[in-house]
Chain A
Protein backbone atom coordinates (compact mmCIF):
# COMPACT_ATOMS: atom_id res chain seq x y z
CA UNK A 1 0.00 0.00 0.00
CA UNK A 2 1.12 3.52 -0.69
CA UNK A 3 2.14 5.47 2.36
CA UNK A 4 3.95 8.55 3.53
CA UNK A 5 5.56 8.64 6.95
CA UNK A 6 6.68 11.60 9.01
CA UNK A 7 8.56 10.17 12.00
CA UNK A 8 8.59 13.36 14.05
CA UNK A 9 5.30 14.55 15.55
CA UNK A 10 6.80 17.64 17.18
CA UNK A 11 10.03 19.52 16.59
CA UNK A 12 11.29 22.56 18.45
CA UNK A 13 14.10 24.72 17.11
CA UNK A 14 15.52 28.08 18.07
CA UNK A 15 15.02 31.00 15.76
CA UNK A 16 17.96 31.25 13.41
CA UNK A 17 18.83 27.56 13.70
CA UNK A 18 18.66 25.16 10.81
CA UNK A 19 15.72 22.84 10.30
CA UNK A 20 15.21 19.42 8.80
CA UNK A 21 11.84 17.68 8.74
CA UNK A 22 11.85 14.04 7.78
CA UNK A 23 9.59 12.30 5.29
CA UNK A 24 9.73 8.74 4.01
CA UNK A 25 7.58 7.22 1.34
CA UNK A 26 6.54 3.76 0.29
CA UNK A 27 5.31 3.44 -3.28
CA UNK A 28 5.69 0.85 -6.01
CA UNK A 29 7.23 3.44 -8.29
CA UNK A 30 8.74 6.85 -7.65
CA UNK A 31 5.86 9.09 -6.60
CA UNK A 32 5.35 12.77 -7.00
CA UNK A 33 6.20 14.31 -3.64
CA UNK A 34 5.03 17.48 -1.96
CA UNK A 35 5.54 19.51 1.18
CA UNK A 36 2.70 21.64 2.51
CA UNK A 37 2.45 24.03 5.44
CA UNK A 38 -0.74 24.53 7.43
CA UNK A 39 -1.23 27.57 9.61
CA UNK A 40 -4.30 28.09 11.83
CA UNK A 41 -7.19 29.56 9.89
CA UNK A 42 -5.44 29.15 6.57
CA UNK A 43 -5.50 26.52 3.90
CA UNK A 44 -2.60 24.24 3.19
CA UNK A 45 0.04 26.05 1.20
CA UNK A 46 2.37 24.24 -1.15
CA UNK A 47 6.02 24.80 -0.26
CA UNK A 48 7.59 22.70 -3.00
CA UNK A 49 7.14 19.61 -5.11
CA UNK A 50 9.22 16.95 -6.82
CA UNK A 51 8.15 15.27 -10.01
CA UNK A 52 11.40 14.25 -11.64
CA UNK A 53 14.83 15.56 -12.57
CA UNK A 54 17.00 17.49 -10.15
CA UNK A 55 16.74 15.83 -6.77
CA UNK A 56 17.26 19.07 -4.85
CA UNK A 57 14.10 21.13 -5.07
CA UNK A 58 13.83 24.76 -4.12
CA UNK A 59 10.58 26.09 -2.74
CA UNK A 60 9.04 29.20 -1.33
CA UNK A 61 9.94 30.89 1.93
CA UNK A 62 13.53 29.66 1.75
CA UNK A 63 12.67 25.96 2.00
CA UNK A 64 14.29 23.19 0.02
CA UNK A 65 13.92 19.42 -0.08
CA UNK A 66 16.10 16.61 -1.33
CA UNK A 67 14.75 13.48 -2.95
CA UNK A 68 16.84 10.42 -2.11
CA UNK A 69 15.67 7.32 -3.88
CA UNK A 70 18.07 5.03 -2.01
CA UNK A 71 16.57 6.11 1.31
CA UNK A 72 12.98 6.59 0.08
CA UNK A 73 13.13 10.02 1.66
CA UNK A 74 12.14 13.56 0.82
CA UNK A 75 13.32 15.67 3.75
CA UNK A 76 12.49 19.34 4.06
CA UNK A 77 15.22 21.77 5.09
CA UNK A 78 15.69 25.41 5.87
CA UNK A 79 19.06 26.96 6.79
CA UNK A 80 17.71 29.55 9.23
CA UNK A 81 14.27 29.32 10.79
CA UNK A 82 12.14 32.38 11.49
CA UNK A 83 9.53 32.60 14.23
CA UNK A 84 6.85 32.86 11.54
CA UNK A 85 7.74 29.36 10.33
CA UNK A 86 5.99 27.84 13.34
CA UNK A 87 3.18 25.74 11.84
CA UNK A 88 2.17 22.21 10.92
CA UNK A 89 4.06 20.68 8.00
CA UNK A 90 2.74 17.85 5.89
CA UNK A 91 4.56 15.66 3.42
CA UNK A 92 2.38 14.13 0.71
CA UNK A 93 2.80 11.74 -2.15
CA UNK A 94 0.94 11.01 -5.34
CA UNK A 95 1.52 7.80 -7.24
CA UNK A 96 2.33 8.25 -10.94
CA UNK A 97 -0.95 8.00 -12.74
CA UNK A 98 -2.68 8.36 -9.40
CA UNK A 99 -5.26 10.83 -10.60
CA UNK A 100 -3.98 13.61 -8.38
CA UNK A 101 -4.93 11.68 -5.24
CA UNK A 102 -2.64 12.75 -2.45
CA UNK A 103 -1.61 10.60 0.48
CA UNK A 104 -0.55 12.70 3.42
CA UNK A 105 1.83 11.97 6.25
CA UNK A 106 0.68 12.58 9.80
CA UNK A 107 2.34 15.96 9.98
CA UNK A 108 5.09 17.56 12.04
CA UNK A 109 4.29 20.42 14.37
CA UNK A 110 7.13 22.93 14.34
CA UNK A 111 7.66 25.20 17.30
CA UNK A 112 10.17 28.02 17.10
CA UNK A 113 11.74 29.35 20.27
CA UNK A 114 12.77 32.97 20.30
Chain B
Protein backbone atom coordinates (compact mmCIF):
# COMPACT_ATOMS: atom_id res chain seq x y z
CA UNK B 1 0.00 0.00 0.00
CA UNK B 2 0.91 3.65 -0.23
CA UNK B 3 3.20 4.67 2.62
CA UNK B 4 4.16 8.14 3.74
CA UNK B 5 6.96 8.70 6.22
CA UNK B 6 7.92 11.72 8.27
CA UNK B 7 11.24 12.55 9.85
CA UNK B 8 11.86 13.23 12.62
CA UNK B 9 9.00 11.80 14.64
CA UNK B 10 9.86 14.05 17.55
CA UNK B 11 12.03 17.13 17.81
CA UNK B 12 12.83 19.55 20.58
CA UNK B 13 14.43 22.85 19.70
CA UNK B 14 15.25 26.10 21.39
CA UNK B 15 13.32 29.26 20.77
CA UNK B 16 14.73 31.22 17.85
CA UNK B 17 16.14 28.25 15.97
CA UNK B 18 14.80 26.64 12.80
CA UNK B 19 13.57 23.09 12.37
CA UNK B 20 13.09 21.09 9.19
CA UNK B 21 10.55 18.29 8.89
CA UNK B 22 10.65 15.87 5.97
CA UNK B 23 7.71 14.12 4.37
CA UNK B 24 8.36 11.28 1.92
CA UNK B 25 6.11 9.12 -0.20
CA UNK B 26 7.93 5.81 -0.10
CA UNK B 27 6.33 3.75 -2.84
CA UNK B 28 4.56 6.24 -5.06
CA UNK B 29 5.05 9.62 -6.62
CA UNK B 30 3.06 12.56 -5.32
CA UNK B 31 2.72 15.77 -7.26
CA UNK B 32 0.70 17.20 -4.40
CA UNK B 33 1.41 17.03 -0.70
CA UNK B 34 -0.35 18.72 2.19
CA UNK B 35 0.83 19.98 5.56
CA UNK B 36 -1.46 20.01 8.57
CA UNK B 37 -1.14 21.15 12.14
CA UNK B 38 -2.92 19.44 14.99
CA UNK B 39 -3.26 20.93 18.45
CA UNK B 40 -3.86 18.66 21.44
CA UNK B 41 -7.36 17.26 21.49
CA UNK B 42 -8.22 19.22 18.37
CA UNK B 43 -8.69 18.64 14.70
CA UNK B 44 -6.24 18.86 11.85
CA UNK B 45 -5.92 22.28 10.31
CA UNK B 46 -4.61 22.53 6.77
CA UNK B 47 -1.60 24.82 6.61
CA UNK B 48 -0.59 24.61 2.99
CA UNK B 49 -0.75 22.67 -0.24
CA UNK B 50 2.59 21.77 -1.75
CA UNK B 51 2.94 21.11 -5.47
CA UNK B 52 6.09 19.65 -6.93
CA UNK B 53 8.15 22.24 -8.72
CA UNK B 54 6.05 25.23 -7.75
CA UNK B 55 5.38 27.46 -4.80
CA UNK B 56 3.21 26.22 -2.01
CA UNK B 57 -0.28 27.59 -1.51
CA UNK B 58 -0.85 28.68 2.07
CA UNK B 59 -4.15 28.79 3.91
CA UNK B 60 -5.40 32.06 5.28
CA UNK B 61 -3.65 33.01 8.49
CA UNK B 62 -0.58 30.84 7.93
CA UNK B 63 2.65 32.82 7.75
CA UNK B 64 4.49 31.66 4.66
CA UNK B 65 7.75 33.27 5.76
CA UNK B 66 7.62 31.35 9.00
CA UNK B 67 6.56 27.98 7.61
CA UNK B 68 8.72 27.41 4.54
CA UNK B 69 7.61 24.56 2.31
CA UNK B 70 9.72 23.02 -0.43
CA UNK B 71 8.51 20.25 -2.72
CA UNK B 72 11.62 19.65 -4.77
CA UNK B 73 10.86 16.13 -5.97
CA UNK B 74 7.88 13.85 -6.53
CA UNK B 75 8.61 11.97 -3.31
CA UNK B 76 9.79 14.65 -0.89
CA UNK B 77 8.32 17.75 0.67
CA UNK B 78 9.88 19.63 3.55
CA UNK B 79 8.44 22.03 6.11
CA UNK B 80 10.85 24.37 7.83
CA UNK B 81 9.67 26.22 10.90
CA UNK B 82 11.86 29.30 11.03
CA UNK B 83 12.68 31.22 14.20
CA UNK B 84 10.54 28.84 16.19
CA UNK B 85 8.71 30.02 19.29
CA UNK B 86 6.93 28.04 22.01
CA UNK B 87 3.56 28.75 20.38
CA UNK B 88 4.77 26.81 17.34
CA UNK B 89 4.87 23.67 19.45
CA UNK B 90 2.41 21.29 17.87
CA UNK B 91 1.91 18.06 15.99
CA UNK B 92 2.64 18.49 12.30
CA UNK B 93 1.22 15.98 9.84
CA UNK B 94 1.81 15.66 6.12
CA UNK B 95 -0.15 13.81 3.50
CA UNK B 96 0.57 12.87 -0.08
CA UNK B 97 -1.96 12.57 -2.85
CA UNK B 98 -1.77 9.26 -4.66
CA UNK B 99 -3.86 6.81 -6.60
CA UNK B 100 -6.28 4.60 -4.71
CA UNK B 101 -7.33 1.07 -5.63
CA UNK B 102 -10.23 2.26 -7.78
CA UNK B 103 -8.15 4.56 -9.94
CA UNK B 104 -9.17 7.69 -8.11
CA UNK B 105 -7.07 9.76 -5.77
CA UNK B 106 -6.66 9.62 -2.02
CA UNK B 107 -4.58 11.38 0.59
CA UNK B 108 -2.13 9.14 2.41
CA UNK B 109 -1.01 10.47 5.76
CA UNK B 110 2.31 10.38 7.51
CA UNK B 111 2.61 9.47 11.21
CA UNK B 112 3.26 13.06 12.24
CA UNK B 113 6.08 15.02 13.88
CA UNK B 114 5.83 16.29 17.43
CA UNK B 115 7.61 19.66 17.68
CA UNK B 116 8.38 21.13 21.08
CA UNK B 117 9.97 24.56 21.27
CA UNK B 118 11.57 25.42 24.61
Contacts and interface: CB of A to CB of B under 8 A. Distances in A.
Main secondary structure of the interface of B (DSSP, over half): strand
B42 interface: yes
Nearest to A91: B43
Given A43-B93, A46-B106, A100-B97, A105 B111 contact: no
Interface string B6-19: 00010000000000
Interface in A80-114: 90, 99-107
A28 interface: no
Contact of A106 (B34, B42, B93): B42
Interface residues of B, number: 23
B44 interface: yes
A42 interface: yes
